[in-house]
């Protein structure tokens, strides 16, 4: 992350929290959105089975699988026009300029791990779930992001989607203007009191 850009963001956030005048806070908020705001598609990948595998084999075993996930994920995300922001524990955060590319990247990642898992013992197989949403978010440098779309993508990818599943919000699907080249089914999702209209992407032929 650009240290200067990160410091400016943190300074503005601190000023906002310390400012007592509503109008002054509003100006700081407007500056933050002007400097860091962007409409993007947010992609969150989560590895499945952390607790079970860690208890069974230990943290080093699982960390070796996380590293494999990172090495496979980064080039695929970039191939489909995504910007990798960060790896955090067994998660991957990226942003894309449009929804279709993010979905194609998610499909490619699922298939890539399917193929990779053919070469490893079952205990080293990497299984992932993906959540995708669209909206106006704050992007700080090239390594972090915040906003409702980030929260929803995290909920879908980390909390809701099963291993091998790709969940995309209805809001993100609505931004696709070309004919869909995949099938999907509508799902009803409610988590922490939040209703998220979404679709599950069907990408396997069998």
For 28-54, how does the pLDDT look when each residue is reduced to its tens digit (9 = 90+)? 999 999 999 999 999 999 998 777 777
Tell me the H-state helices in the chain: 3-18, 22-36, 50-57, 59-79, 99-117, 148-154, 170-173
For tokens 């099938």, name the residue.
Answer: 183
Mean of the per-residue pLDDT values for the chain?
93
Q: Express each pLDDT in 116-128 by its tens digit.
A: 999 999 889 999 9
Among 128, 121, 146, CA closest to 61: 121
Residue 3: predicted pLDDT: 77
Among 63, 45, 72, CA closest to 128: 45
**C-alpha torsion angle, residues 187, 150, 171, 183 (rounded to 10):** -50
Q: CA-CA distance, 24 to 120, in Å (whole number)? A: 57
For tokens 């069998």, name the residue.
Answer: 206
Say which range, 42-46, 83-87, 193-197, has the weakest mean pLDDT: 193-197
SS3 label, residue 45: strand
pLDDT band at 206 (very low <50, low <70, confident <90, very high): low
Residue 133 near residue 172 (C-beta atoms within 8 A) = yes
Do β-strands 128-140 and 37-47 pair in parallel, antiparallel, or remain unpaired? antiparallel
pTM of the model: 0.93
* Superfamily of domain covering 38-202: Nucleotide cyclase, GGDEF domain (3.30.70.1230)
Say which range, 2-6, 42-46, 72-76, 133-137, has the weakest mean pLDDT: 2-6
Q: CA-CA distance, 82 to 106, in Å (whole number)? A: 11
């Amino acid at each position: 992350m650009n240290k200067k850009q990160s410091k400016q963001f943190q300074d503005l956030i601190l000023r906002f929290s310390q400012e007592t005048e509503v109008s002054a806070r509003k100006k700081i908020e407007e500056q933050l959105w002007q400097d860091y705001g962007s409409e993007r598609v947010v992609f969150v990948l989560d590895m499945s089975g952390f607790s079970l595998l860690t208890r069974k084999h230990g943290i080093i075993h699982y960390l070796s699988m996380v590293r494999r996930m990172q090495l496979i994920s980064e080039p695929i995300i970039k191939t489909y026009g995504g910007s990798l922001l960060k790896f955090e524990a067994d998660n991957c955060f990226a942003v894309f300029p449009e929804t279709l590319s993010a979905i194609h990247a998610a499909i490619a990642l699922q298939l890539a791990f399917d193929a990779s898992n053919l070469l490893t013992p079952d205990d080293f197989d990497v299984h992932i779930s993906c959540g995708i949403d669209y909206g106006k978010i704050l992007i700080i440098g090239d390594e972090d992001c915040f906003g409702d779309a980030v929260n929803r993508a995290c909920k879908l990818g980390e909390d809701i989607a099963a291993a091998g599943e790709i969940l995309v919000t209805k809001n993100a699907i609505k931004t696709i203007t070309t004919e869909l080249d995949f099938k999907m089914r509508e799902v009803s999702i409610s988590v922490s009191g939040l209703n998220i209209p979404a679709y599950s992407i069907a990408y396997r032929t069998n």
